[in-house]
Chain A
Amino acid sequence: MRVNEISAFDIAKSGIKAQRLRMMIIANNIANAETTRTEKGGGPFRRQVVELLGHSIRGTSPIGKAGVEVKRVSYDMSPFKEVYEPGHPDADENGIVRYPNVNIPVEMADLVSAQRVYEANISVLVATRQIRQRALEILQR
Protein backbone atom coordinates (compact mmCIF):
# COMPACT_ATOMS: atom_id res chain seq x y z
CA MET A 1 0.00 0.00 0.00
CA ARG A 2 1.41 3.35 -0.91
CA VAL A 3 2.13 5.41 2.14
CA ASN A 4 0.10 8.41 1.12
CA GLU A 5 -2.97 6.31 0.39
CA ILE A 6 -3.52 4.88 3.84
CA SER A 7 -4.56 6.64 6.93
CA ALA A 8 -3.05 6.01 10.31
CA PHE A 9 -6.59 5.89 11.65
CA ASP A 10 -7.35 2.83 9.53
CA ILE A 11 -4.17 1.12 10.62
CA ALA A 12 -4.94 1.70 14.28
CA LYS A 13 -8.55 0.63 13.80
CA SER A 14 -7.45 -2.65 12.29
CA GLY A 15 -5.21 -3.26 15.26
CA ILE A 16 -7.98 -2.46 17.70
CA LYS A 17 -10.43 -4.80 16.02
CA ALA A 18 -7.93 -7.62 15.90
CA GLN A 19 -6.92 -7.28 19.53
CA ARG A 20 -10.49 -6.99 20.73
CA LEU A 21 -11.33 -10.27 19.05
CA ARG A 22 -8.20 -11.83 20.48
CA MET A 23 -9.15 -10.74 23.98
CA MET A 24 -12.63 -12.13 23.56
CA ILE A 25 -11.34 -15.47 22.37
CA ILE A 26 -8.80 -15.66 25.19
CA ALA A 27 -11.44 -14.73 27.77
CA ASN A 28 -13.63 -17.45 26.36
CA ASN A 29 -10.81 -19.96 26.59
CA ILE A 30 -10.24 -19.05 30.21
CA ALA A 31 -13.93 -19.19 31.06
CA ASN A 32 -14.13 -22.67 29.54
CA ALA A 33 -10.88 -24.06 30.91
CA GLU A 34 -12.77 -26.69 32.86
CA THR A 35 -15.58 -27.41 30.46
CA THR A 36 -15.55 -31.15 30.00
CA ARG A 37 -18.75 -31.34 28.02
CA THR A 38 -19.96 -29.16 25.19
CA GLU A 39 -23.26 -29.01 23.34
CA LYS A 40 -24.42 -31.91 21.22
CA GLY A 41 -22.08 -34.27 23.03
CA GLY A 42 -19.10 -32.57 21.57
CA GLY A 43 -16.63 -33.54 24.20
CA PRO A 44 -14.45 -31.14 26.06
CA PHE A 45 -14.05 -27.52 25.06
CA ARG A 46 -11.29 -27.04 22.54
CA ARG A 47 -9.01 -24.04 22.77
CA GLN A 48 -9.44 -21.40 20.08
CA VAL A 49 -6.82 -19.18 18.58
CA VAL A 50 -7.00 -16.10 16.42
CA GLU A 51 -4.84 -16.18 13.33
CA LEU A 52 -3.60 -12.79 12.31
CA LEU A 53 -2.38 -11.61 8.95
CA GLY A 54 -0.18 -8.54 8.87
CA HIS A 55 0.43 -6.13 6.02
CA SER A 56 3.45 -3.99 5.46
CA ILE A 57 3.46 -0.50 4.10
CA ARG A 58 6.06 0.31 1.55
CA GLY A 59 6.96 3.24 -0.55
CA THR A 60 5.86 2.08 -3.93
CA SER A 61 4.15 -1.27 -3.71
CA PRO A 62 0.79 -1.69 -5.41
CA ILE A 63 -2.40 -0.74 -3.67
CA GLY A 64 -3.31 -3.16 -0.92
CA LYS A 65 -4.07 -3.19 2.71
CA ALA A 66 -2.25 -2.00 5.74
CA GLY A 67 -2.25 -2.80 9.40
CA VAL A 68 -3.47 -6.20 10.49
CA GLU A 69 -6.45 -8.38 9.83
CA VAL A 70 -7.91 -11.52 11.31
CA LYS A 71 -7.27 -14.37 8.95
CA ARG A 72 -9.54 -16.70 10.85
CA VAL A 73 -10.41 -18.09 14.24
CA SER A 74 -9.30 -21.68 14.42
CA TYR A 75 -9.05 -24.53 16.87
CA ASP A 76 -5.92 -25.52 18.67
CA MET A 77 -5.57 -29.17 17.73
CA SER A 78 -3.21 -30.10 20.50
CA PRO A 79 -4.42 -33.02 22.59
CA PHE A 80 -6.78 -32.70 25.53
CA LYS A 81 -5.53 -33.16 29.03
CA GLU A 82 -6.32 -36.53 30.46
CA VAL A 83 -6.97 -36.77 34.16
CA TYR A 84 -7.82 -39.85 36.17
CA GLU A 85 -11.10 -38.99 37.91
CA PRO A 86 -13.35 -42.04 38.14
CA GLY A 87 -16.17 -40.27 40.01
CA HIS A 88 -16.58 -37.58 37.36
CA PRO A 89 -19.82 -37.68 35.33
CA ASP A 90 -17.82 -37.32 32.11
CA ALA A 91 -15.31 -40.04 32.94
CA ASP A 92 -14.93 -42.74 30.35
CA GLU A 93 -14.83 -46.50 31.03
CA ASN A 94 -11.27 -46.17 32.34
CA GLY A 95 -12.18 -43.31 34.69
CA ILE A 96 -10.31 -40.82 32.55
CA VAL A 97 -11.76 -37.38 32.11
CA ARG A 98 -10.64 -35.29 29.19
CA TYR A 99 -10.17 -31.62 30.04
CA PRO A 100 -9.81 -28.71 27.62
CA ASN A 101 -6.37 -28.10 26.16
CA VAL A 102 -6.37 -24.68 27.82
CA ASN A 103 -3.33 -23.69 29.80
CA ILE A 104 -4.31 -20.84 32.09
CA PRO A 105 -0.88 -19.23 32.52
CA VAL A 106 -0.43 -19.16 28.76
CA GLU A 107 -3.86 -17.64 28.29
CA MET A 108 -3.15 -15.01 30.92
CA ALA A 109 0.13 -14.07 29.27
CA ASP A 110 -1.61 -13.81 25.92
CA LEU A 111 -4.36 -11.71 27.45
CA VAL A 112 -1.90 -9.25 28.96
CA SER A 113 -0.06 -9.03 25.69
CA ALA A 114 -3.26 -8.45 23.72
CA GLN A 115 -4.30 -5.79 26.18
CA ARG A 116 -1.02 -3.91 25.80
CA VAL A 117 -1.21 -3.98 22.05
CA TYR A 118 -4.84 -2.87 22.21
CA GLU A 119 -3.95 0.10 24.36
CA ALA A 120 -0.99 0.98 22.19
CA ASN A 121 -3.32 1.07 19.19
CA ILE A 122 -5.60 3.41 21.10
CA SER A 123 -2.59 5.67 21.67
CA VAL A 124 -2.03 5.73 17.93
CA LEU A 125 -5.63 6.83 17.46
CA VAL A 126 -5.25 9.61 19.99
CA ALA A 127 -1.93 10.75 18.53
CA THR A 128 -3.36 10.78 15.01
CA ARG A 129 -6.25 12.93 16.09
CA GLN A 130 -3.89 15.29 17.90
CA ILE A 131 -1.74 15.73 14.83
CA ARG A 132 -4.75 16.41 12.64
CA GLN A 133 -6.22 18.96 14.99
CA ARG A 134 -2.96 20.84 15.03
CA ALA A 135 -2.80 20.71 11.26
CA LEU A 136 -6.20 22.41 11.13
CA GLU A 137 -4.76 25.27 13.15
CA ILE A 138 -2.73 26.27 10.17
CA LEU A 139 -5.97 27.14 8.46
CA GLN A 140 -7.59 28.82 11.37
CA ARG A 141 -5.21 31.69 11.86
Chain B
Amino acid sequence: MVTKIRNISAEEYLIAGLRVGEINHKYIANNIANADTPGYVERNLDFYKTLSAVVNGRGGIELRTSHPRHIPYIKENLIYEERQSLMKNDFNSVDIDEQILRLSENTSRMTVFTTLLAKKYSQIIGAINELKR
Protein backbone atom coordinates (compact mmCIF):
# COMPACT_ATOMS: atom_id res chain seq x y z
CA MET B 1 0.00 0.00 0.00
CA VAL B 2 3.05 2.23 0.26
CA THR B 3 2.87 2.83 -3.46
CA LYS B 4 -0.58 4.31 -3.00
CA ILE B 5 0.75 7.02 -0.74
CA ARG B 6 0.95 9.93 -3.09
CA ASN B 7 3.65 12.49 -3.13
CA ILE B 8 1.98 14.93 -0.80
CA SER B 9 3.48 16.03 2.44
CA ALA B 10 2.92 14.49 5.85
CA GLU B 11 1.33 17.76 6.89
CA GLU B 12 -1.26 17.53 4.13
CA TYR B 13 -1.94 13.94 5.09
CA LEU B 14 -2.60 14.96 8.66
CA ILE B 15 -4.90 17.77 7.57
CA ALA B 16 -6.84 15.36 5.37
CA GLY B 17 -7.08 12.93 8.27
CA LEU B 18 -8.40 15.66 10.52
CA ARG B 19 -10.99 16.80 8.00
CA VAL B 20 -12.32 13.31 7.42
CA GLY B 21 -12.21 12.71 11.16
CA GLU B 22 -14.27 15.82 11.82
CA ILE B 23 -16.97 14.65 9.45
CA ASN B 24 -16.86 11.17 10.92
CA HIS B 25 -17.32 12.71 14.34
CA LYS B 26 -20.50 14.41 13.21
CA TYR B 27 -21.91 11.28 11.64
CA ILE B 28 -21.32 9.38 14.85
CA ALA B 29 -22.84 12.22 16.89
CA ASN B 30 -25.91 12.13 14.69
CA ASN B 31 -26.26 8.37 15.06
CA ILE B 32 -26.02 8.69 18.82
CA ALA B 33 -28.51 11.55 19.01
CA ASN B 34 -30.94 9.42 17.02
CA ALA B 35 -30.18 6.16 18.79
CA ASP B 36 -33.82 5.60 19.55
CA THR B 37 -35.55 7.65 16.92
CA PRO B 38 -38.02 5.45 15.09
CA GLY B 39 -37.21 4.96 11.43
CA TYR B 40 -33.79 6.58 11.59
CA VAL B 41 -31.20 5.08 9.28
CA GLU B 42 -27.75 4.80 10.75
CA ARG B 43 -24.90 6.10 8.61
CA ASN B 44 -21.35 5.00 9.22
CA LEU B 45 -18.50 6.68 7.45
CA ASP B 46 -15.63 4.44 6.44
CA PHE B 47 -12.70 6.54 7.62
CA TYR B 48 -9.83 4.91 5.78
CA LYS B 49 -11.66 4.47 2.52
CA THR B 50 -12.81 8.06 2.55
CA LEU B 51 -9.32 9.25 3.44
CA SER B 52 -7.87 7.26 0.58
CA ALA B 53 -10.38 8.83 -1.77
CA VAL B 54 -9.45 12.29 -0.54
CA VAL B 55 -5.71 11.75 -0.81
CA ASN B 56 -6.01 10.30 -4.28
CA GLY B 57 -8.17 13.18 -5.40
CA ARG B 58 -11.35 11.22 -5.97
CA GLY B 59 -14.36 12.82 -4.36
CA GLY B 60 -14.69 12.99 -0.64
CA ILE B 61 -13.37 16.29 0.58
CA GLU B 62 -11.28 18.71 -1.37
CA LEU B 63 -7.80 18.63 0.05
CA ARG B 64 -6.37 21.72 -1.50
CA THR B 65 -8.49 24.82 -1.40
CA SER B 66 -7.54 26.73 -4.48
CA HIS B 67 -11.19 27.58 -4.46
CA PRO B 68 -11.90 31.14 -3.28
CA ARG B 69 -14.05 29.82 -0.47
CA HIS B 70 -11.47 28.48 1.95
CA ILE B 71 -13.97 26.19 3.60
CA PRO B 72 -13.68 22.60 2.45
CA TYR B 73 -16.84 21.46 0.78
CA ILE B 74 -18.07 17.94 0.75
CA LYS B 75 -18.65 16.11 -2.43
CA GLU B 76 -21.37 13.52 -2.75
CA ASN B 77 -19.32 10.40 -2.62
CA LEU B 78 -18.33 10.15 0.98
CA ILE B 79 -17.91 6.49 1.53
CA TYR B 80 -20.34 5.25 4.10
CA GLU B 81 -22.71 2.44 4.59
CA GLU B 82 -26.31 2.66 5.66
CA ARG B 83 -27.44 0.13 8.17
CA GLN B 84 -30.90 -1.29 7.81
CA SER B 85 -32.24 -2.88 10.93
CA LEU B 86 -32.98 -6.57 10.86
CA MET B 87 -32.73 -7.53 14.47
CA LYS B 88 -34.40 -5.04 16.69
CA ASN B 89 -38.13 -5.25 17.03
CA ASP B 90 -38.54 -1.56 16.96
CA PHE B 91 -38.03 0.41 13.85
CA ASN B 92 -34.64 1.81 14.68
CA SER B 93 -31.26 0.46 13.66
CA VAL B 94 -28.66 2.14 15.81
CA ASP B 95 -26.39 -0.06 17.89
CA ILE B 96 -25.31 2.35 20.54
CA ASP B 97 -22.42 0.31 21.85
CA GLU B 98 -20.86 0.23 18.44
CA GLN B 99 -21.36 3.96 18.05
CA ILE B 100 -19.70 4.65 21.38
CA LEU B 101 -16.72 2.55 20.30
CA ARG B 102 -16.52 4.42 17.03
CA LEU B 103 -16.71 7.71 18.89
CA SER B 104 -13.86 6.73 21.15
CA GLU B 105 -11.73 5.46 18.28
CA ASN B 106 -12.30 8.52 16.14
CA THR B 107 -11.65 10.95 18.97
CA SER B 108 -8.39 9.24 19.77
CA ARG B 109 -7.39 9.39 16.12
CA MET B 110 -8.17 13.10 15.96
CA THR B 111 -6.14 13.96 19.03
CA VAL B 112 -3.16 11.98 17.74
CA PHE B 113 -3.29 13.71 14.36
CA THR B 114 -3.64 17.09 16.02
CA THR B 115 -0.65 16.51 18.23
CA LEU B 116 1.47 15.42 15.27
CA LEU B 117 0.37 18.40 13.23
CA ALA B 118 1.13 20.75 16.09
CA LYS B 119 4.60 19.20 16.32
CA LYS B 120 5.16 19.71 12.61
CA TYR B 121 4.18 23.35 12.83
CA SER B 122 6.33 23.96 15.87
CA GLN B 123 9.27 22.44 14.01
CA ILE B 124 8.77 24.78 11.10
CA ILE B 125 8.51 27.76 13.41
CA GLY B 126 11.56 26.58 15.33
CA ALA B 127 13.54 26.31 12.11
CA ILE B 128 12.46 29.81 11.10
CA ASN B 129 13.53 31.15 14.47
CA GLU B 130 16.92 29.53 14.09
CA LEU B 131 17.41 31.10 10.72
CA LYS B 132 16.58 34.49 12.14
CA ARG B 133 19.57 34.43 14.45
Question: Chain A: residues with CB nearer than 8 A to chain B?
Answer: 2-4, 6, 8, 11-12, 14-15, 18, 52-57, 59-60, 66-68, 113-114, 116-117, 120-121, 123-124, 127-128, 130-131, 134-135, 137-138, 141
Contact = CB atoms under 8 A, between A and B. Distances in A.
Contacts of B23: 3-4
Contact of A11 (B29, B74, B104, B122): B29
Interface of B is mostly: helix
Contacts of A2: 73-74
B124 to A, nearest CB: 10
A12 B32 contact: yes
B63 interface: no
A131 B96 CA distance: 21
14 contacts: A3-B74, A15-B34, A52-B36, A54-B33, A56-B41, A59-B78, A60-B75, A66-B33, A68-B33, A117-B36, A120-B35, A120-B100, A128-B25, A134-B110
B40 interface: yes
Contacts of A11: 26, 29-30, 33
Contacts of A113: 36
A130 B21 CA distance: 13
Contacts of A121: 32-33
Given A123-B103, A124-B103, A141-B122, A59 B33 contact: no
Contact of A138 (B27, B74, B114): B114
